Amino acid sequence: MPHKKYPLPPRWVSKFFQWYCHPDYYEDIEGDLLERFESGLEEHGLKNARWNYIKDVVRLFRPGIIRSLEISSRINHYSMFKNYLKVGYRNILKHKGFSLINVTGLAIGIACCIIIMLYVQNELSYDRYHKNYNQTYRVLQTFRSAADPGSLPPPAPEEFQVWGCAPIGPALQADFPEIKSFFRFTSPVNLLFQYQNKKFQEDNMVFADSTAFKVFSWRLISGREETALTKPNSIVLTQNVAAKYFGKNDPLGKTITIDQTKSFVVTGVMEDVPHNSHFTFDGLISMTTAHNWRTEIFDWWGYVDFYTYFLVDEQANIAALAQRIPDFVKRHLPGWQDNTIAFEPLSDAYLYSVAARQPGAMGSLSNIYMFSSIAVFILIIACINFMNLSTARSMERAKEIGIRKSIGAHRHSLVVQFLLESILLSTISAILAVALVSIALPWVQELSAKTLDLSSLLSWKSVIAFMGGVFLIGLLAGSYPAWILAQVRSAQVLKGTFKSSSKGAALRKSLVIFQLSLSIALIAGTAIVFSQLDFIRSRDLGFTKEQMLVIDFGWDSGVQEQLNIIKAEFLRHPDVHSIAASRAVPGNFLPDAGTRIESPEGAMIMQSPGIYEIEPDFVPTYDMQMIAGRSFSANIPKDSTETLLLNEAAMRLYGYTDPSEIVGKKFSQWGRNGIVVGVVKDFNYKSLHTKVEPLALRFAPVGALRHLSLQVSPENITKTIA
């Protein structure tokens, strides 16, 4: 027995026992345990003995045996921590000014970070609330035409557009069994809604397929998801709009009069479309309504007014689906060699899409990267600031360190002390930062035009991440001062010969330089952004926008009939210089129209420029310049149906370089045939972010007018409005 090497009980169990056992009792109880283990080994074998050993150790884990806290060595640390915190707290109070600068500096840095994080998180959260987020795709289409069909190269991603035709949805579902359902909606229609005496122009209502609630996860408050949008003339309103007409009454089943002639029945009320959706609307009108109004467009592959989204089943492979697109196009559109379609996931819709004609405003990926890096920079600056202020003050703390060292403080415990102090400061800063953010949030929302909510960061994950971040900032900001201060030699301090080291000063100086250059970079960046915004505001748009008053009468037929009388009435006012009616005004939404114009070679080319429908007064009222030909004239009767104006971009689109050449060429557009009579200098009718796109100006037909533009004297503009 003595010389044989015996197996031992599990090591980790022994360690555990040693860890918790009262040190005074450890030796003999461990001896008893081993004795039992050894005898058990002989009688019952190793496995049994081990098991009994574990059982005994577990049963020994009770109050009489466990080492008591009072004499544990951990308690010493605890009281030291208490001391550190107390000294830290007193230091903060002793140097109020210093602490204030330090804490507020860090707090502002953290607050900026939180706000930027809120913004970024909001941008990244778009459309994610949809249950089928990862299975929803949308159809992109191209609408190109070439003089020589089939000669165009495959379209670039930018040439696709989201806005497409109606028949593609049903055709896709018929050809691709993987597509569970599709959902189409139109661009917003403008309708005058009336319920009893409440009358509003609604311009964000869309026609939508009955599959709306199957494909997207909008919540219906009342009404049935399956049937709400099946019958013609039914409408689902958002909560906000419903409240506008019906107040607290139940809108379900009520009738709304549309444009004073038709009527819709409310078949559902839905929660407002979440602000983080890549398109929004105020209400859904059943697609069958549109079908009744204009049945023919549902078979026209060239009529563009629909956004098509579809849902695939879980096993579907979108890449495999996309490979079958050429077949699909060939089967349905044999004549369209130059055009095709593409699928785009819903997850790309807000940030990654490059397609034209989006159904709503897009986010900017580069903004997200830019803001995130700014957040990091700000935090680094705040940390460096904090470090410098702390180290600069090291002289004052030197005496304390000297004394602590001479009574036996280890270097590492001094480091711990200073780290703890800076974590204390960073925690105070973090609390202050949260307060700052909640105060500043309303302004930030106004600035960013986003609904940002602090509660979106209130999940346990982000709270832990935030606390971890604060802790890390404390460590980071405290690391350098702690390291420098812990190096102080006690003998020097106590003899009074302590000088701050030159090495520390050099590092401090370089940190200041780094910090300043970061700040300058940020300020320069801000200046550039500001000048860009200034450019947008002050750049010559190609038309007079100053002192322009725009009245939106929303196709009110009463106004349209009396238009000439109204215009004459306005012109009698001394400050109104001129007045013009049109369907859209610069900056507005406008449709595209397929337009054929004779090319320089004599062939009729089909293109789709945007259109403005205007009255003859429009061009002079906006001070637009004719660079060739003439404008519309009210005195030439033929102008109203047989003439067309183009802008420079449209002229180039049809292959002309000299504006005078295109004047007199034949055109056909939307049922009108005639000649191009003039070319307008390009004006920025959409946005300065895009280049000026081709535009055709056509004489407005009766009933197509919506806006009145008045050019008035700037001096008493407010008086004129009154």
Partner 1 sequence: MSKHHLGEFEEIVMLTVAILADEAYGISIIEEMENRLDRKVSIGALQTVLRRLEKKGYLSSRFGEATKVRGGKRKRYFMLTAYGKKVLTEVKEQRLSLWNAIPQFSTSY
Token pair of 656 as six digits: 């002309």
Minimum distance, C-beta of residue 35 to partner 1, in the bound complex (Å) = 5
Q: Which of 649, 643, 696 is nearest to 666 (CA)?
A: 643
User: In this structure, are strands 666-669 and 595-598 parallel, antiparallel, or unpaired?
Assistant: antiparallel
Task: Give the residue, chosen from 13, 54, 65, 395, that forms a contact with partner 1 under the rule CB under 8 A.
Answer: 65
Task: Give the residue, chosen from 10, 18, 23, 32, that forms a contact with partner 1 under the rule CB under 8 A.
Answer: 32
61 contributes a contact to partner 1 by CB under 8 A:
yes
Residue with tokens 């989006």: 358
Task: Give the residue, chosen from 15, 47, 59, 96, that forms a contact with partner 1 under the rule CB under 8 A.
Answer: 59
Q: Which of 272, 287, 196 is nearest to 237 (CA)?
A: 272
Q: What are phi and psi of 452, to 5 degrees?
A: -105, 140
Minimum distance, C-beta of residue 41 to partner 1, in the bound complex (Å) = 12
Contacts of 462 (CB under 8 A, 6+ apart): none
Residue with tokens 């320089």: 600
Count how many residues are written for the chain.
722
Strands (E) across 541-623 are located at 548-552, 576-582, 595-598, 604-607, 610-614
Task: Give the residue, chosen from 4, 62, 461, 537, that forms a contact with partner 1 under the rule CB under 8 A.
Answer: 62
Residues 364-393: x where in contact with partner 1 by CB under 8 A, - otherwise, as a string: ------------------------------
Minimum distance, C-beta of residue 45 to partner 1, in the bound complex (Å) = 19
Minimum distance, C-beta of residue 57 to partner 1, in the bound complex (Å) = 8
Three-state SS string over 375-408 comes to: HHHHHHHHHHHHHHHHHHCHHHHHHHHHHHHHCC
Q: Whose Cβ is closer to partner 1: residue 38's or residue 272's?
A: 38
Near partner 1 in 38-57, by CB under 8 A: 38, 55-56
13 contributes a contact to partner 1 by CB under 8 A:
no
Beta bridge partners of 564: none
Q: Whose Cβ is closer to partner 1: residue 61's or residue 81's?
A: 61
Q: Whose Cβ is closer to partner 1: residue 24's or residue 158's?
A: 24
Residues 652-691: x where in contact with partner 1 by CB under 8 A, - otherwise, as a string: ----------------------------------------
25 contributes a contact to partner 1 by CB under 8 A:
yes
User: In this structure, are strands 672-680 and 643-647 parallel, antiparallel, or unpaired?
Assistant: parallel
Q: Whose Cβ is closer to partner 1: residue 3's or residue 47's?
A: 3
Count of residues touching partner 1 (by CB under 8 A): 25
Minimum distance, C-beta of residue 15 to partner 1, in the bound complex (Å) = 14
Near partner 1 in 239-268, by CB under 8 A: none
Q: What is each CA distance from 575 to 569, 579, 581, 621, 718, in whole angstroms?
A: 12, 11, 18, 14, 11
Near partner 1 in 463-502, by CB under 8 A: none
Q: Which stretch, 62-70, 155-163, 374-382, 661-669, contacts partner 1 (CB under 8 A)?
A: 62-70
64 contributes a contact to partner 1 by CB under 8 A:
yes
Q: In sequence order, which ranges of 407-551 are alpha helices (DSSP H)? A: 411-448, 460-486, 490-495, 502-538
User: In this structure, are strands 626-629 and 643-647 parallel, antiparallel, or unpaired?
Assistant: unpaired
Minimum distance, C-beta of residue 392 to partner 1, in the bound complex (Å) = 56
Report how far residue 215's alpha carbon sits from residue 224's, in angstroms, rounded to the nearest whole number: 15
Minimum distance, C-beta of residue 74 to partner 1, in the bound complex (Å) = 22
Minimum distance, C-beta of residue 73 to partner 1, in the bound complex (Å) = 21
Report how far residue 306's alpha carbon sits from residue 210's, in angstroms, rounded to the nearest whole number: 14
Helices 394-406/365-392 angle, 10° precision: 60
29 contributes a contact to partner 1 by CB under 8 A:
yes
Residue with tokens 């460096």: 384
Q: Which stretch, 27-35, 88-96, 103-111, 169-177, contacts partner 1 (CB under 8 A)?
A: 27-35
545 contributes a contact to partner 1 by CB under 8 A:
no
Q: Whose Cβ is closer to partner 1: residue 52's or residue 104's?
A: 52
715 contributes a contact to partner 1 by CB under 8 A:
no
Q: Whose Cβ is closer to partner 1: residue 1's or residue 69's?
A: 1
Contact assessment for residue 550 and residue 709, using Cβ atoms and an 8 Å cutoff: yes
326 contributes a contact to partner 1 by CB under 8 A:
no
Minimum distance, C-beta of residue 76 to partner 1, in the bound complex (Å) = 24
Please measure the distance between the N-terminal and C-terminal CA atoms of the chain and give it in whole angstroms.
113
Contacting residues toward partner 1, per CB under 8 A: 1-2, 8, 25, 27-36, 38, 55-56, 58-65
